[in-house]
Amino acid sequence: MSGNGDAAATALARIQTDSVVATLKALYPSLQFEIIAMSTTGDKILDTALSKIGEKSLFTKELEHALEKNEVDLVVHSLKDLPTVLPPGFTIGAICKRENPHDAVVFHPKFVGKTLETLPEKSVVGTSSLRRAAQLQRKFSHLEFRSIRGNLNTRLRKLDEQQEFSAIILATAGLQRMGWHNRVGQGALGVEVRAKDQDILDLVGVLHDPETLLRCIAERAFLRHLEGGCSVPVAVHTAMKDGQLYLTGGVWSLDGSDSIQDTMQATIHVPAQHEDGPEDDPQLVGITARNIPRGPQLAAQNLGISLANLLLSKGAKNILDVARQLNDTH
């Protein structure tokens, strides 16, 4: 089993991997699990914004290489780091129950007690995400947003010890997993395996959380259809209530001045785990879930595609094309 991250970036990756291993050990007490820490391109290139690197598998390529060579049998990722189209031969064999999917604002010590709205004019806010920057720029036009890279420890140290940033935006789930509640691939963990390794698929399949799985299928279908990635500001959010899956998605210009957002819903039955699922070519948006019925999975995927088509009909393609061009030239 591999956890994403080198010695400097391994704390959160190790915590996430340990949580998956602990669950598997409880389910399979006779099995032994060895954890191997590995680094990726995304871990090593810390002086360039993610949107500028141009590599779609920043946090997965090296790990997939180890999977392909049978050096490891499964890899734990933050689901947001996994592209919506995986290379041939790989699949997401499990999606664990999602934690808090929201973002958190962490302020420099001298601004504790402030909000983004009350920060001084021209205060600099750090984020590694175009999605976050575009949405926040639209709402808080008096602030400046700059890229900040590195693992959680590094970013928090840059915030606390340097004077460049007044605040930074981080994923709440990462802060909570690190035990930093006081400072609060977004919230869900995915386990990547070899697509044809049925033994490992059966092993990890019990980790699927049905509701999180269906929500992630809808989200990934939306992103895939829009060809969303690190180089464009695209956002999506789901909520399940009273048998309805609500999907909200949006696209933004780089400066946040132009946007299109909408919400759609579909009636989707969240099945009990371990029901019979598809037997033939079960992958949807890179996810294999043989123990979840096909009907709800297809309904979730269709919801994602439908919302993407709705945004495209309202002009999303032009916004995204301009954003890609501007991102490439700056």
Our measurement of the distance from residue 147's CA atom to the centroid of its chain's CA atoms, rounded to an integer in Å, reads 18
The active-site residue out of 18, 47, 73, 81 is 81
Our measurement of the distance from residue 34's CA atom to the centroid of its chain's CA atoms, rounded to an integer in Å, reads 25
d(CA 319, CA 330): 17
Q: Check if 199 is active-site.
A: no
d(CA 182, CA 177): 12
Q: What is the DSSP string of 271-328?
A: PPTT-----SS--BTTB--TTS-HHHHHHHHHHHHHHHHHHHHTTHHHHHHHHHHHHH
Instruction: Indicate left, alpha or beta for 155 from its phi (over 0: left) and psi (-120 to 50: alpha).
Output: alpha
Instruction: Give burial (CB, 10 Å; 0-12/13-18/19+) of 150.
Output: middle
Active-site residues, by number, are 81
